[in-house]
């Protein structure tokens, strides 16, 4: 069976089972219409305020994270979303220091891989501003140069807000 046909059948079966399949195309179109504010080279970094509380997982007030967006990426499964948040909190807390170490050693490939991974993981969790900062760093690294210090500092500040918010909101 051809790959595209198999994918179509798989999506049709998932839709028939009541699973969310609106997926990547609609999210990609949405993001394409919402340009992110670029990280200025010399201006201070703005860190987003904590969102207002809603109900369920959306009631989690996690600074730097739009929980309704992250929960949507997890098809509304609060248990899956919480595990992802906990894994991010435990596994990415040192990402800023790791980035600085890679940049200090001139290892731009490792730095690029780190911010690329964090870019997509952060967006999946709903940490848009962190994802945008990682994207700006990745673009600078892909151009073959060291990113501006202001962009690195902004990335670190946004990462710190998210990680500390997860520590306080979900506990250690």
Instruction: Give the whole-number percent of the chain exceeding pLDDT 70.
Output: 65
Average pLDDT, the chain: 77
CA terminus-to-terminus distance, the chain: 48
Tens-digit pLDDT profile for residues 115-169: 999 999 999 999 999 999 999 999 999 988 889 999 999 999 999 999 999 998 8
| pLDDT level of residue 36 (50, 70, 90 thresholds) | low
Q: Count Cα neighbours of 172 within 13 Å in the Cβ-side half-sphere.
A: 0
Whether 114 shows a pLDDT value over 90: the answer reads: yes
Indicate if the pLDDT at residue 11 is higher than 70.
no
Q: Is the pLDDT assigned to residue 23 strictly greater than 60?
A: no
* 31: confidence class by pLDDT, cuts 50, 70, 90: very low
Q: What would the two tokens of residue 3 be?
A: 């790959």
* Domains detected in the chain: 1-34 (no CATH), 40-170 (1.20.120)
Provide the CA 73 distance to its chain's centre, in angstroms.
11
Q: What is the pLDDT averaged over residues 77-103? A: 93
Residue 101's pLDDT is what? Answer: 96
* CA-based nearest residue to 96, from 164, 40, 37: 164
Q: How many CA atoms lie within 13 A of 147 on its CB side?
A: 30
The DSSP output letter for 149 is H
pLDDT > 80? residue 52: no
59 pLDDT more than 80 = no
Residue 42: band (very low, low, confident or very high) from pLDDT cuts 50, 70, 90 = very low
């Amino acid at each position: 069976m051809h790959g595209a046909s198999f994918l179509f059948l798989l999506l049709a079966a998932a839709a028939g089972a009541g699973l969310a399949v609106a997926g990547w195309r609609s999210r990609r179109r949405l993001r394409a219409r919402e340009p992110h504010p670029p990280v200025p080279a010399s201006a201070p970094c703005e860190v987003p305020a904590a969102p207002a509380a809603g109900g369920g997982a959306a009631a989690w007030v996690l600074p730097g994270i739009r929980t309704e967006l992250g929960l949507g990426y997890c098809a509304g499964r609060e248990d899956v979303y919480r595990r992802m948040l906990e894994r991010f909190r435990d596994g990415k807390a040192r990402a800023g220091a790791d980035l600085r170490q890679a940049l200090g050693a001139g290892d731009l490939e490792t730095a690029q891989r780190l911010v690329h991974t964090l870019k997509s993981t952060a967006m999946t969790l709903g940490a848009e501003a962190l994802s945008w900062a990682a994207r700006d760093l990745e673009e600078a690294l892909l151009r073959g140069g060291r990113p501006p210090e202001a962009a690195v500092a902004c990335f670190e500040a946004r990462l710190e807000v998210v990680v500390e918010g997860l520590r306080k909101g979900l506990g250690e």
